[in-house]
Chain A
Amino acid sequence: MTPSPRAPEPTSGLPPPASGLSPSGAPALDVDPFSTEFFEDPHRIHEALREAGPVVWLSRWSVHAVARYAEVHAVLNDPATFCSGRGVGLSDFARETPWRPKSLILEADPPEHGRTRAVLARVLSPGVMKTLRERFRVAAEALTEDLLARRSFDAVSDLAEAFPLSVFPDAVGLQREGREHLLPYAGLAFNAFGPPNELRRRALETAAPHVDWVMAQCQRQNLAPGGFGAAIHEAADRGEITHDEAPLLVRSLLTAGLDTTVNGIGAAIYCLARFPEAFARLRGKPALARAAFEEAVRFESPVQTFFRTTTRDVEIGGVTIPDGAKVLMFLGAANRDPRRWQDPARYDPERQTVGHVGFGSGIHMCVGQLLARLEGEVMLGALAARVGAIAITGPVVRRYNNTLRGLERLPVTLTPA
């Protein structure tokens, strides 16, 4: 068997040198998808990755990667060959201790995964969303009125963060005290999927207070009755999961349920501000709100990348990836692959987006996708009803994260309808 490429040691500080050669024969590229250069403009590098071949070798981090739609979709839908149990970041749990106890859903494989997944799927089911819709709609309309009164504000902190923060923690049933830990916790968890770069190091160094608060909130006594958190603990009462597992499943919700929707809503606002013609179409047809959010998830791909680990030697496009190797999936590149999408760099709220991988695909596809869509739909719907135009009125600043794509600052001015 071909020797497996070794993941870099987390403590090594420096990336391995670019070799230009892949042990598997995949075309090698010396690009770093975890660099500020990439965060500022991923599209040029995405194109280079897609055009190099169906599977490429990233010499910087000694890892195979797929960036075309067909291969990303295929890897996502073959969990037996491309497993998650060895971590969905670069760190290989077979060789390194995870920085936190493993996720019972994200970092689990069948058959164990099915059990925990079923619990979260029920907690976040279409039926549950129906019960939240009215409350979320009212909150989105109230926020829109506040923002119209202010006219000029930062669309990241005052809108993309403010809206999910106004509905999600209550829906989980979190206590009010300490909610400011939520976004830093998620930010560090998503940075930790990346390689041992400065972002990851800094995230782990500053993690302790956020981790302590989040883990405490996962305990049953801190979760209000009627919320998602309590519902997870009730699943343990019914024997669907154990009482030890319940807090860790609540943690998954707190890790993946907030920052992702912040960046999804932020992506949509950034699209509608940059493309006034699209906002005009949304205003003319408010029923497009949900589709406009979905297209923003395709267009910006708030979750850019995840890794899998091979469970056997596997051939992709003539290249054999050895057993036990990490494979990086570029969701954002797949969502703009011209082999799959017509005019992919155009934001079109009326596009047929079915099949995009912004929420992943297959058994690990985002279990909170309905919640994300509900938040996005009611927020964009409220804006479309009351706002005539969204203008960018200051420097747009990107936020750097090893996994999440989003903005740090988006100064805008609203014109009332």
Chain B
Amino acid sequence: MTTITFIQPDGRSRSLALADGTSLMQGATGAGLDGIVAECGGNAMCATCHVYVDEAWAGRLPPRSDEEDALLDGAAAERLPTSRLSCQITVTPDLDGLVVRLPDRQI
């Protein structure tokens, strides 16, 4: 299990112990976390599982695919250099301690 911290737009934070090999999106929605919609169920189609990765972590994640990059342009909330789709981030032990912030809206 790997611990990931999600911070809501209002500052509330919640740390979840997620199973390695699942996606950040699957782990978060499975735990009933608010703020991630994931309409397409993790098929990289909808850009409603948008998160901002903490700056300290941004360079340590595998890079975006072209597909993810294009989808992020259509995300409902502002796109930042740290924007990612959480369905495209696989939980691995080296992500232990990762902090992500949730945008103010997904749709």
CB within 8 Å of B: which residues of A?
A: 118, 121-122, 125-130, 290, 294, 352, 354-356, 359, 361-363, 365, 367, 369-370, 373
Beta-carbon contact of A361 and B74 below 8 Å: no
Chain A nearest CB, measured from B40 CB (Å) = 6
Beta-carbon contact of A126 and B38 below 8 Å: no
Beta-carbon contact of B74 and A127 below 8 Å: yes
Query: Given the complex, which residues of B lie within 8 Å of A118, measured CB to CB?
Result: 67
The segment out of B3-11, B14-22, B43-51, B90-98 that lies at the interface is: B43-51
Beta-carbon contact of B41 and A370 below 8 Å: no
Please name 9 pairs of A and B residues whose Cβ atoms are closer than 8 Å in the assembled complex, sorted by A.
A118-B67, A126-B46, A126-B71, A126-B75, A130-B74, A352-B32, A359-B40, A361-B41, A369-B40
Cα A179 to Cα B101 in complex, Å, equals 47
Chain B nearest CB, measured from A207 CB (Å) = 31
Beta-carbon contact of A354 and B41 below 8 Å: yes
A-B complex: 3 closest residue pairs judged by Cβ atoms: A126-B74, A127-B74, A126-B47
Chain B, Cβ-Cβ closest to A121: B45
Given contacts A125-B70, A126-B74, A365 and B39 within 8 Å (CB-CB): no
Cα A150 to Cα B82 in complex, Å, equals 51
Cα A129 to Cα B74 in complex, Å, equals 8
Beta-carbon contact of A354 and B39 below 8 Å: yes
The answer to whether B78 has its CB under 8 Å from any CB of chain A is no
Given contacts A125-B70, A290-B107, A365 and B43 within 8 Å (CB-CB): yes
Cα A355 to Cα B40 in complex, Å, equals 7
Query: Given the complex, which residues of A lie within 8 Å of B32, measured CB to CB?
Result: 352
Cα A128 to Cα B70 in complex, Å, equals 11
Cα A128 to Cα B71 in complex, Å, equals 10
Beta-carbon contact of B41 and A128 below 8 Å: no
Beta-carbon contact of A125 and B39 below 8 Å: no
CB within 8 Å of A: which residues of B?
A: 29, 32, 37-41, 43, 45-47, 67, 70-71, 73-76, 107
Beta-carbon contact of B45 and A370 below 8 Å: yes
Query: Given the complex, which residues of A lie within 8 Å of B41, measured CB to CB?
Result: 354-356, 361, 365
Chain A nearest CB, measured from B104 CB (Å) = 14
Chain B, Cβ-Cβ closest to A374: B107
Cα A126 to Cα B75 in complex, Å, equals 7
Cα A118 to Cα B71 in complex, Å, equals 11
Query: Given the complex, which residues of A lie within 8 Å of B75, measured CB to CB?
Result: 126
Beta-carbon contact of A369 and B45 below 8 Å: yes
Given contacts A352-B29, A354-B29, A362 and B43 within 8 Å (CB-CB): yes
Given contacts A290-B107, A352-B29, A354-B29, A125 and B43 within 8 Å (CB-CB): no
Which of A130, A361, A365 has most chain B Cβ within 10 Å?
A: A365
Chain A, Cβ-Cβ closest to B50: A126
Chain B nearest CB, measured from A303 CB (Å) = 15
Chain B nearest CB, measured from A374 CB (Å) = 10
Selected contact of A369 from candidates B46, B67, B71, CB within 8 Å: B46
Query: Given the complex, which residues of B lie within 8 Å of A125, measured CB to CB?
Result: 70-71, 73-74
Query: Given the complex, which residues of B lie within 8 Å of A373, measured CB to CB?
Result: 39
Query: Given the complex, which residues of B lie within 8 Å of A130, measured CB to CB?
Result: 74, 76
Selected contact of A365 from candidates B37, B40, B107, CB within 8 Å: B40
Chain B, Cβ-Cβ closest to A377: B107
Chain A nearest CB, measured from B65 CB (Å) = 11
Chain B, Cβ-Cβ closest to A77: B43
Chain A nearest CB, measured from B83 CB (Å) = 13
Chain A nearest CB, measured from B45 CB (Å) = 7
Beta-carbon contact of A365 and B74 below 8 Å: no
Query: Given the complex, which residues of B lie within 8 Å of A356, measured CB to CB?
Result: 41
Query: Given the complex, which residues of B lie within 8 Å of A362, measured CB to CB?
Result: 43
Beta-carbon contact of B74 and A128 below 8 Å: yes
Chain A, Cβ-Cβ closest to B48: A126
Query: Given the complex, which residues of B lie within 8 Å of A294, measured CB to CB?
Result: 39
Query: Given the complex, which residues of A lie within 8 Å of B70, measured CB to CB?
Result: 122, 125
Given contacts A354-B41, A355-B41, A370 and B107 within 8 Å (CB-CB): no
Given contacts A361-B43, A362-B43, A365-B43, A354 and B38 within 8 Å (CB-CB): yes
Question: Given A125-B73, A354-B39, A365-B45, 19 more contacts at CB 8 Å?
Answer: A126-B46, A126-B71, A126-B73, A126-B75, A128-B74, A129-B74, A294-B39, A354-B41, A359-B40, A361-B41, A361-B43, A362-B43, A363-B43, A365-B40, A365-B41, A365-B43, A369-B45, A370-B46, A373-B39
Chain A nearest CB, measured from B68 CB (Å) = 12
Cα A356 to Cα B42 in complex, Å, equals 11
Chain A nearest CB, measured from B46 CB (Å) = 6
Cα A242 to Cα B73 in complex, Å, equals 26
Given contacts A121-B45, A290-B107, A369 and B39 within 8 Å (CB-CB): yes
